[in-house]
């Protein structure tokens, strides 16, 4: 079942309700001026949990970004989950980015791993192996393996993933959420053609990180 796009992510509704309630009470009992910090916090929560619909590229070989943010790594690396040499593309999300996570490819979830860990700055390379993280092994319909890893950051304290082994995902389909600053690593086959560079700003489900080589 595809996730609908109600503009505000469902994960944010309780936070928004509480913030709005406190802001309203502050306005009633403290006055407009003293309530401004409460309304500012409410606006921050509102923008953090926005979840806009996206136009997904139709290229079947395209690997789209799993997150909004800035590309902080494009490199050859060892995929620690599938134990292979791979191309790694990492996207760092700050607190002002959309934090809804989307599937980078059409594929089936072969396996899911969760690791408890630290909460280092997610922009650092060592966060990939030391921070709390949730990884999905996706296999495309063409038999290509892609690993997508949600990584908690310095402020993030909750990784949410709604799919498990056997789940069928479409490119750009929402599968999870990370609260308050984080990172997503994508490990691709070594022969994938990368389409982004360090420092690029990308958008989940819309920006193409790479193209998979055609096999067969």
Same domain flag for 45 and 134:
no
Alpha-carbon gap, residue 90 to 122, rounded angstroms: 10
Q: For the chain, what is the domain count?
A: 2
The answer to whether residue 117 sits within a structural domain is: yes
| Co-location of 85 and 129 in the same domain | yes
Helix (H) or strand (E) holding 13: helix 13-30
Please tell me the predicted confidence (pLDDT) of residue 156. 52
Is 1 part of any domain? no
Give domain status of residue 56, yes or no.
no
- As a whole number of angstroms, the distance between CA 138 and CA 166 comes to 10
Whether 2 maps to a domain, the answer reads no
The domain spanning residue 131 has which CATH number?
2.70.70
Q: Which of 90, 103, 128, 182 is catalytic?
A: 182
Same domain, 101 and 202: yes
Residue 23 lies in a domain: yes
Same domain membership, residue 46 and residue 66: no
* CA separation, residue 152 to residues 127, 177, 195 (Å): 8, 10, 25
Maximum alpha-carbon separation in the chain:
69
Residue 19 and residue 94 in one domain: no
Q: Is the domain of 38 the same as that of 108?
A: no
Residue 103 and residue 166 in one domain: yes
Assess if residue 147 is contained within a domain: yes
Q: What is the rounded (10 degree) CA torsion for 80, 83, 84, 88?
A: -10
Q: What is the pLDDT of residue 181?
A: 64
Q: Are residues 138 and 46 in the same domain?
A: no
Same domain? 139 vs 83:
yes
Position 98 scores a pLDDT of 87
Host domain of residue 197? 62-211
Specify if 79 maps to a domain: yes
On whether both 30 and 112 belong to a single domain, the answer is: no
- Asked if residue 189 lies in contact with residue 209, where contact means CB atoms within 8 angstroms, the answer is no
Asked whether residue 111 falls in the same domain as residue 204, the answer is yes
User: What is residue 206's predicted lDDT score, i.e. its pLDDT?
Assistant: 95
User: Quick check: is 182 catalytic?
Assistant: yes
Same domain for 42 and 66, yes or no, is no
pLDDT by residue, tens only, the chain of 216 residues: 455 556 788 887 888 899 999 999 999 999 989 999 999 999 988 888 888 888 999 999 999 999 999 999 999 999 999 999 999 999 999 888 888 899 999 999 999 999 886 666 555 666 667 778 899 999 998 999 999 999 987 665 678 899 999 999 999 999 999 876 688 999 999 999 999 999 999 999 999 999 998 765
How high is the pLDDT of residue 2?
52
29 domain residue, yes or no: yes
């Amino acid at each position: 079942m595809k996730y609908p796009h109600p503009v505000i992510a469902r994960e944010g509704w309780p936070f928004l309700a509480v913030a709005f309630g406190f802001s309203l009470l502050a306005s009633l009992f403290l006055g407009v001026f003293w309530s401004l910090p409460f309304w500012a916090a409410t606006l921050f929560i509102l923008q953090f949990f926005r979840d806009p619909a996206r136009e997904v590229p139709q290229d079947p070989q395209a690997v789209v970004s799993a997150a909004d943010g800035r590309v902080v790594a494009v490199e050859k690396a060892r995929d620690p989950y599938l134990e292979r040499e791979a191309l790694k593309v990492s996207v760092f999300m700050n607190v002002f980015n959309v934090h809804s996570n989307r599937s980078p490819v059409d594929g089936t979830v072969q396996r899911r791993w969760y690791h408890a860990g630290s909460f280092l700055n997610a922009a650092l390379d060592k966060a990939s192996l030391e921070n709390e993280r949730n990884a999905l092994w996706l296999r495309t319909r063409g038999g290509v393996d892609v690993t997508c890893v949600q990584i908690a950051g310095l402020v993030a304290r909750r990784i949410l993933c709604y799919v498990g082994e056997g789940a069928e995902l479409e490119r750009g389909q929402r599968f999870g959420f990370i609260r308050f600053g984080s990172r997503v690593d994508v490990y691709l086959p070594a022969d994938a053609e990368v389409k982004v560079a360090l420092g690029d700003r990308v958008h989940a489900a819309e920006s193409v990180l790479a193209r998979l080589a055609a096999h067969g």
